[in-house]
Amino acid sequence: MAKKRYGLFVNRFEVATRNSYTNATYVFKQHVDSLFADSTTSPIALTCYNRAKPMYDLYQASHTTQSGQSDTQGGKVQTMKVILKGMPLHVDDWESQIKSVYKVDSEKYKILFPKGKTSFNSGTQQKRVDAVETLLLNIGTDASLAAVKAIIQTFYDAMLASYNVKDVSKKSTKTDSKATETARKNMSYVMEGNYGLLLDANQDEPMLASKYFDEPYMSNTLQMNFDLKVKPLATKRAIERTYQKPLTQQFQINNKLNTTLKVFLSAKRNGLVGLVFVTIPPLSIGIYNLVDMGNNATQKFLSIQNMDDKIKADITIKVL
């Protein structure tokens, strides 16, 4: 039986990414990327992006370190050689975003890239670090380049960290794991905050905020499924509701066999069906309202009665 708990004031992003850094990486990246896509045209998207991107970078860095530590115990931090090898791709991305704001023949572009991309992609390590620093200084407070500046700043910070501590051993796997878990939670907290900000900004049309979160993926991850079998003419407790749900709460009930069921709420753990219940037809899948099963304010146990005298019922309940 599912053990996840989910309520209106539970951080849905922390729950959805718990125990899975694969899920976390996917959920976090989708949020940051979708915010970035609108960051030059939507002030609220830019605000949320600037809140989330630093936390996402910290999570990524910590997760990468932990993964590397798992592969090679006692290895070194990512070297400047590795960073610089991948730098041309980053520079191409920065230039592409800047060109979307300032044309190549514009004065601003020439200030940002006086020697094209040469100073970033060749020369000593120090000169290439200096080139990124100079680019950041020349962008300055230009609001139209705020999003790309945040990306460059993150890359620059990683360069400095690697450049300054390239010969320092990694922390222990246990320490790395704690750091990654802390980073995951912190990113989840920021996403929950962004959720509130985006809903507030789009309170008249909340669906406009949905693109910044992978709603189908989150819904599938957070939904709770309960599989159970009920003997002929027996009653079985399906769910103990440990949270208060609104009257609009619904359940999808899949009655897999040729049995008729009664689903009801009760205040007692082993309560019996009363005057209020929902009848589930044989071989059916339907969506039912919690309020039709009883009093959800006082009755926290959801139970199922199998009305057939010969067939054992086979049911799946999905909390929607």
Same domain, 284 and 187: no
Q: Has this prediction a pTM greater than 0.85?
A: no
Confirm whether 309 is domain-assigned: yes
Q: How far is CA 7 from CA 28, 60, 177, 304, 320, in A?
A: 21, 28, 28, 23, 11
Same domain, 231 and 313: yes
Same domain, 127 and 262: no
Residue type at position 200: D
What's the confidence (pLDDT) of residue 234? 94
- What share of the chain in percent tops pLDDT 70? 83
- What is the residue-averaged pLDDT of the chain? 82
Q: Which has more confidence, 227 or 305?
A: 305
What's the confidence (pLDDT) of residue 36? 94
What pLDDT digit, counting tens, does each position of 106-137 carry?
Answer: 989 988 998 889 889 888 888 888 889 889 98
Same domain, 272 and 178: no
What's the confidence (pLDDT) of residue 168? 40
What's the confidence (pLDDT) of residue 307? 95
Q: Which residues of 45-77 are buried (b: 16+ CB within 10 A; e: fewer)?
A: bbbbbebbbbbbbbbbbbbebbebbeeeeeeeb
Lowest-confidence range among 94-98, 111-115, 157-161?
157-161
Q: Could you list the residue range(s) of the whole structural domain that residue 268 is in?
A: 224-319
What pLDDT digit, counting tens, does each position of 169-213 carry?
Answer: 444 445 557 888 888 999 999 999 999 999 999 988 888 898 998
Confirm whether 4 is domain-assigned: no
Q: Which of 212, 234, 269 is the last residue of a domain?
A: 212
Strand-pair category, 261-266 with 301-306: antiparallel
Q: What is the mean pLDDT of residues 142-150?
A: 91
Confirm whether 73 is domain-assigned: yes
What pLDDT digit, counting tens, does each position of 254-298 carry?
Answer: 999 999 999 999 988 888 898 999 999 999 988 898 889 988 878
Residue 149 has pLDDT above 80, yes or no: yes
Same domain, 47 and 191: yes
Same domain, 110 and 70: yes
Q: What is the mean pLDDT of residues 52-80?
A: 67
Nearest to 42 by CA among 159, 158, 209: 209
What's the confidence (pLDDT) of residue 242? 61
What's the confidence (pLDDT) of residue 32? 93
Say if residues 119 and 131 touch (Cβ distance below 8 Å): yes
